[in-house]
A = this chain, B = another copy of it.
Amino acid sequence: MTSPVVCETRVAVRYAETDAMRIVHHASYIIWFELGRVEYMKQIGSDYAAIEHSGHFFAVTEVGARYLSPARFGDTVKIRTWLDEVRSRTLVLRYEVRLEESDRLLATGFTRHVCIDGAGQVTAIPEDVRALLAATLNSAA
């Protein structure tokens, strides 16, 4: 039994990501999840920009996030991303955001995606991409 493939992405909090509560705005985490997702794809040997060039897009159909502790300007966070589920046309990724310095958990979340083509029609995830994703899941068994 091995651990699942987890991708860690480091991000220094941007001043523009903070709000008048002097903490990072909650919508910024949704964008951080996206950064984690893009790097996850790269780490398993795929590349989301290349997938798009092939005419496939992973549209977001659902997002969820729980916020436990705030991040502030000056902090560096690490986004941990892993695959939770992959089917012929959909996938689910999960995320954890932690403070780099203390490893304190700031937020957890997930995104659900459906593969669409350039016309916005639901389509199968390209076979090579799905094989890479599936192999990642299996490695966790």
Contacts from A to B (Cβ < 8 Å): 12, 14-16, 18-23, 25-27, 30-31, 34-35, 38, 47-50, 52, 57, 59-68, 70, 72-74, 120
Contacts of A63 in B (CB 8 A): 26, 30, 63-65, 67
Whether A120 and B70, one on each chain, are in contact in the complex, defined by CB atoms closer than 8 angstroms, is: yes
10 smallest beta-carbon distances between A and B, as pairs? A49-B74, A18-B20, A27-B30, A26-B60, A64-B64, A20-B22, A16-B31, A62-B66, A18-B19, A27-B27
How far apart sit A58 and B37, CA to CA, in the bound complex (Å)? 29
Q: Could you say which of B31, B47, B59, B120 contacts A14, with CB atoms under 8 Å apart?
A: B31
Contacts of A64 in B (CB 8 A): 62-65
Which residue from chain B places its CB closest to the CB of A42 in the assembled complex? Answer: B12
How far apart sit A15 and B38, CA to CA, in the bound complex (Å)? 9
Contacts of A60 in B (CB 8 A): 26, 67
Other A-B contacts than A16-B27, A20-B22, A64-B65, 9 sampled, CB-CB below 8 A, are A14-B34, A15-B25, A15-B48, A16-B19, A20-B73, A27-B27, A49-B74, A59-B67, A61-B68
